[in-house]
Amino acid sequence: MRRIVADPESRERGAAGILVALMMLVMIGAGALAVDAGQIYAERAQLQNGADAAALAGVDLCAESGCTQADANAMAAALANSNSNDTKSTVQSVDLSVAGQVSVTTSTKDGTTNAGFLSKMFASVLNAPAATVGATATAKWLYPTKGISILPLTFATCEFEDDGMPHKVLTQGGAEDCNGRNPSNQIIPGGFAWLDPDGNTGCKVTAEVGQWSPTSAGEGVPAGCIDLFNPSINPSLAGSTVALPVYKYTCDGLPAAQFGSCNGSSVQYYIEQWAGFKIQAWNLTGQAKYDPTHVFSGSEKGLYGTFMGYSADPNLFTGGSTTPNGNVIVIGLIK
């Protein structure tokens, strides 16, 4: 009788199917995790954008006009939601405890269920837990000390009337109501003065609180800068708000041993603060005129506009203090 011998290879039949099934399970799980990781990453990016925007808006609000906790909370919620793709996020906290700073912490809020976690995640088939992510941003504001003025001029302190009303500020010597004084208690002519552009070229001026800034020679617009005030060449100037240095006193006629060379074209101005000024009209020299409502009469030369709170470009300023000084602030994220 012939013995029946089993085929050795028959014991391996079906093993390939099992391996394929196991690999498919692993691949599906890996894919699910990859998709969910991407969802978590995208959610956190949106939350960080919302926290950043809320913190910056918070310092702008609190620095300019002061704010209550309720004001800051409402601002943060609006900005956090508007920076989320589903327009929903949770503001966990708005911290105002540090002077000059606002910290905002955001976390997940599902746009469909309003739950505080991400739902409908692929990894749930693997019994993975729901995910909650968050983000924090802190912004600060400072009253700047050293910065660049895009217009080469400085206002007298006595002309700096931050009352929300437009004012006509006449050039040096033309402001009869300006009673500013120099260190020797002598009355300063008032109005505004032209400053010497950096390096005697261009039109930008670097000025610093507590330091002297030299005047530009002559009574007119510094050489090469008249195009700044030509409305046909620079139409964006009218109605714009700029940060300008404000001088406390001039060293004109004072002892050289104490204040250095200061006579004629060497006059200097001691910078005290920075002011935000919305330029509405001007009458200077040549083509440097824009006066649609005819606020300047006769031979009057000067600027017309409104002093107002202004959040300046942080790239133009260095240094600063949380102590109120002027109405210009610089805001930025610190983390």
Output the pLDDT for position 31.
56
Sign of CA dihedral 294, 176, 145, 149: positive
**Weakest-pLDDT range from 11-20, 162-171, 173-182, 241-250:** 173-182
Please say if the pLDDT value at position 193 is more than 90: no
**Residue 118: closest CA among 10, 44, 15:** 44
**Residue 325: closest CA among 172, 151, 141:** 141
Q: What is the DSSP string of 22-75?
A: HHHHHHHHHHHHHHHHHHHHHHHHHHHHHHHHHHHHHHHHHHHH---HHHHHHH
11 vs 266, residue with greater confidence: 266
249/258 Cα distance (integer angstroms): 14
Output the pLDDT for position 255.
63
Length of the chain: 335
* pLDDT tens by residue, 219-251: 678 888 889 999 999 999 999 999 999 988 777
Assign residue 266 a region (left: φ > 0; alpha: ψ between -120 and 50; beta: otherwise): alpha
Query: What residues have CB less than 8 Å from 326, skipping those under 6 apart?
Result: 143, 160, 246, 273, 274, 275, 276
Output the pLDDT for position 333.
84
* pLDDT tens by residue, 246-296: 988 777 656 666 665 565 556 788 899 999 999 999 998 777 899 999 999
190, with CB counted inside 10 A (0-12, 13-18, 19+), is buried
